[in-house]
Amino acid sequence: MIVVKIGGAQGVNLPAVCKDISALIKEGQKVVVVHGGSAETNEISTQLGHEPRFVTAAQGGFTSRYTDRTTLEIFAMVTSGKINTILVETLQKNGVNAFGLSGVDGRTMVARRKEAIRIIENGKIRMLRDDYTGKIESVNADLLKMLLDAGYTPVVAPLAISHESDALNVDADRAAAMVAGAVQAEKLIILTNVPGLMRSFPDESTLISSVAKKDLEQALGYAEGRMKKKVLGASEALDLGVNSITFADGRVEHPIVDALSGKGTTIS
Amino acid sequence: MIVVKIGGAQGVNLPAVCKDISALIKEGQKVVVVHGGSAETNEISTQLGHEPRFVTAAQGGFTSRYTDRTTLEIFAMVTSGKINTILVETLQKNGVNAFGLSGVDGRTMVARRKEAIRIIENGKIRMLRDDYTGKIESVNADLLKMLLDAGYTPVVAPLAISHESDALNVDADRAAAMVAGAVQAEKLIILTNVPGLMRSFPDESTLISSVAKKDLEQALGYAEGRMKKKVLGASEALDLGVNSITFADGRVEHPIVDALSGKGTTIS
């Protein structure tokens, strides 16, 4: 079992990714796909006159999308409605019986809503209370296995449902990690628009080809921007029993073949 | 088994519909929900600068949405991404383990794409070739039954997949009819923003409370605008073995309870 996470950032070669997934499935491999949608959510939010806004957490310094209810609904439209449908359609054109869902459907991913987030704004700490984001606590592995056993390839959009049954925006990298753990995947491949983790970003000659679990803390130090969450996701996936996590380039002709042959950064 | 179709037109009381569905399920009833999304697709298309356009078929005189690829993607965003997610979320808040999907997922609804449509424009007949609409030919009942048997309530968005694996916009009333036939539903309830079929629309005192199958042709004569497709859908559902189809008011406090108690127009 392999979990493939397809980045929401621009540049990923979607037809090539779907072709590689199709080849894997024809070899008898089981695959679960998890995708993002950040870049396109920004575009469509802007077109709809609801400019995207990002906030920086007071603790840890992570940057995340500020998701009021309007943003949540745009995020659902773009990720679950557009990107998910196009991915399923493209996989179907490649002979894969893909089945799209989000974590809201059948409570596939249950998350704890962040009631209040401490953010830094103009150097000051303040609380944000109307945010619809969450941290995934459980994945309905039975549902995913039921679909897989019936011959469907699940394609998961990064929405979860809260304990109070509100739809929530969740980080897609960490969602992929949780899904990989839940379905006991051997490998998690995280496709993005860079070749992997670099010692000094964006110098590609400093690509790190492998990181041992004990060196993850150090690796987190090299990570810039969104790569930080990918490293965190990798760490969570290892803890959940996934053997290896590869950050690989999704822009190339054979993104998954390359990742499986050792290109990119493998964490194990 | 009951199939409930929730109209895409404005005015349907969604919280009330979900509450009624929840009560039915608690009584042990199995329910499949099918929904539309036309009104909101128009709004968001307009906001995105891609004005909705409707065409009139040369034969039959039916009006339908002109769906170029951009419109199809907006239709998918709104129906499968926004309306479907909100419906699933609202049902989940009412204790129903709802599961959203569209006909693209797992090829749940396979349709024949209309390669070319003869339309009337400014009094002239012309052909339209880049339209992504279709007529449903088959419904994957096994998949819907698998979800129902596992305790999930399917909520179906009106997209189908073509034989060539293109996503297509399909008429939600006729989708509901096909789904009701496939899952061998006893009843199909079509909720809309009028009290039912009227002998002289919009005079509600002329509401027709029941129509026998043999009088369907006559009923089609009374139907105005979108009600025509609902009558056609009802006719198809009867042919597929559904016992009765009720057109009922979705704006009231107990839309489904009322429909089951004989309000609206029942065709059997």
pLDDT at B154 over 90: yes
CB contact under 8 A, B166 and A89: yes
| Chain A residues touching residue B89 (CB < 8 angstroms) | 104, 161, 165-167
In tens, the pLDDT along A13-40 reads: 999 999 999 999 999 999 999 999 988 9
To 5 degrees, how large is the angle CA A18–CA A24–CA A26? 100
Cβ-count burial of A223 within 10 angstroms (0-12 exposed, 13-18 middle, 19+ buried)? middle
Average pLDDT over residues A77-90: 98
CB contact under 8 A, B101 and A97: no
Q: How confident is the model at residue B93 (pLDDT cuts 50, 70, 90)?
A: very high
Average pLDDT over residues B35-53: 94
How many Å apart are CA A52 and CA A27, to the nearest integer? Answer: 42
Instruction: Find tokens 């199939």 and name the residue.
Output: B3
In tens, the pLDDT along A243-265 reads: 999 999 999 999 999 999 999 99
pLDDT at B9 over 80: no
Q: How confident is the model at residue B199 (pLDDT cuts 50, 70, 90)?
A: very high
Among A77, A82, A161, the residue with its CB nearest the CB of B92 is A161
Q: What is the pLDDT of residue A115?
A: 78
What is the per-residue DSSP string for A26-70? HTT--EEEEE--HHHHHHHHHHTT----EEEETTTT-EEE---HH
Give the residue on A whose Cα is nearest the Cα of B93: A165
> Which CATH number fits the domain that encloses residue B41?
3.40.1160.10
CB contact under 8 A, A88 and B105: yes
Q: How confident is the model at residue B257 (pLDDT cuts 50, 70, 90)?
A: very high
Could you give the strand order of the β-sheet that contains B167-169, starting from the edge strand earlier in sequence? B134-139, B109-113, B159-162, B167-169
CB contact under 8 A, B47 and A48: yes
pLDDT at A10 over 90: no
Residue B14 or residue A226, greater confidence? B14
Question: The tokens of B45 are what?
Answer: 């298309």
Q: What is the pLDDT of residue A116?
A: 85
Q: How confident is the model at residue B209 (pLDDT cuts 50, 70, 90)?
A: very high
pLDDT at A9 over 80: no
Distance from CA of A49 to the nearest CA of B (A): 9
Average pLDDT over residues A114-134: 89
Of the candidates A134, A82, A48, the residue with the CA atom closest to the CA atom of residue B43: A48
Size of interface A-B (CB pairs under 8 A): 120
Average pLDDT over residues A46-56: 93
In tens, the pLDDT along A191-212 reads: 999 999 999 999 999 999 999 9
pLDDT at A60 over 90: no
Q: How confident is the model at residue B234 (pLDDT cuts 50, 70, 90)?
A: very high
Cα Rg, chain B, nearest whole Å: 18
Helices A84-93 + B69-76 axis angle, to 10? 120
CB contact under 8 A, A167 and B77: no
Q: How confident is the model at residue A7 (pLDDT cuts 50, 70, 90)?
A: confident
CB contact under 8 A, B165 and A93: yes
CB contact under 8 A, B89 and A166: yes
Mutate to test the interface with B, among A74, A92, A153 (most CBs of B within 10 A): A92
Give the residue on A whose Cα is nearest the Cα of B77: A81
At B74, which helix (H) or strand (E)? helix B69-76
Q: How confident is the model at residue A47 (pLDDT cuts 50, 70, 90)?
A: very high
Q: Give chain A's contact residues with B (Cβ, < 8 Å).
A: 44, 47-49, 73, 76-82, 84-86, 88-89, 92-93, 97-102, 104-107, 143, 146-147, 150, 152, 159, 161, 164-167
Q: What is the pLDDT of residue A172?
A: 95
| Chain A residues touching residue B73 (CB < 8 angstroms) | 82, 85-86
Average pLDDT over residues A106-124: 92
CB contact under 8 A, B82 and A92: no
Residues spanned by the domain of A149: 2-267
Q: What is the pLDDT of residue A229?
A: 86
Q: How confident is the model at residue A188 (pLDDT cuts 50, 70, 90)?
A: very high
* Structural domains in chain A (count): 1
Q: What is the pLDDT of residue B240?
A: 96
Q: How confident is the model at residue B116 (pLDDT cuts 50, 70, 90)?
A: confident
Question: The tokens of A257 are what?
Answer: 């073949």
Task: Please state, rounded to an integer, the average pLDDT across all residues of chain A.
Answer: 95
pLDDT at A226 over 90: no
How many Å apart are CA B231 and CA B77, to the nearest integer? Answer: 28
Q: Give chain B's contact residues with A (Cβ, < 8 Å).
A: 44, 47-49, 73, 76-82, 84-86, 88-89, 92-93, 97-102, 104-107, 143, 146-147, 150, 152, 159, 161, 164-167
